[in-house]
Amino acid sequence: MAEQACPVQTKNSTTYKLHACLLQGYDATVRPQNKTISLWFELRYLSMNNDKIAMHGVLTAYWHDDRLIYDSDLYDGIVSVTLPSDSVWTPPMIVKKETTFLFQSSYTEVIESSNPATDVVYVNSLGALDLFDMVKLYGKCHDPDFSLYPFDQHNCSAYISLPDRSLDYTIEVYTTSMVNGYTK
């Protein structure tokens, strides 16, 4: 039978102990008391089809969770760790995609992760969390003539919201120079 050298060493590591301490008794279904969430979208690539636009980029969510505060001095000076995103509370985000049915508009489409099995959140010792995810947002452009792109401007709409109305959130969009649909 082969020996397992890694598990013993891993279980004795400071990072392993920190993970165990942070997640002991933690309920990922309970929202933190701090209700402020900041969202950023960094546009990386555009694709257009008629009056619809697909925006590919990095969506970053930032929030605080007091349940994840720890003293870094007790853990060999470790000031931040990564945790599986499904082990802590993460904000449920919805992209509002307009669909019309009998003159009524509705918006539904949950943002799905690019790869949920590998999603991690970055947690620092002050309880601040960062979640980065590659997403595709769909929008509608009010002037579907893209013949002069990228040398013209268009007014396009895409909506991101959080279904929990008690949360306060800010959204900022960062763009970079685009050439032929790609960032420079």
What pLDDT digit, counting tens, does each position of 36-87 carry?
888 777 777 777 776 677 777 788 888 999 999 999 999 999 999 999 988 9
Question: Do the domain assignments include residue 4?
Answer: no
Q: Is 183 part of a structural domain of the chain?
A: no
Task: State whether residue 72 is helix, strand or coil.
Answer: helix
- Domains: count for the chain: 1
Report yes or no: 166 and 36 within 8 Å, Cβ to Cβ.
no
The domain of 90 spans 15-21+35-176
- Mean pLDDT in residue range 22-36: 89
This prediction's pTM: 0.67
CA atoms within 13 A on the CB side of 158: 22
Return the CATH number at 39: 2.70.170.10
Query: To the nearest 5 percent, what fractions of the chain are helix, strand and coil?
Result: 15, 45, 40
pLDDT at residue 27, as a whole number: 95
pLDDT digits (tens, 9 = 90+) for 81-113: 999 988 999 887 655 444 433 333 334 444 444
Predicted confidence band of residue 166 (pLDDT cuts 50, 70, 90):
low
User: Kind and range of the H or E element at 154?
Assistant: none
Contacts of 36 (CB under 8 A, 6+ apart): 63, 64, 167, 168, 169, 170
Predicted confidence at residue 112, as pLDDT, reads 47
Structure tokens at 76: 């060999």
What pLDDT score does 158 carry? 64
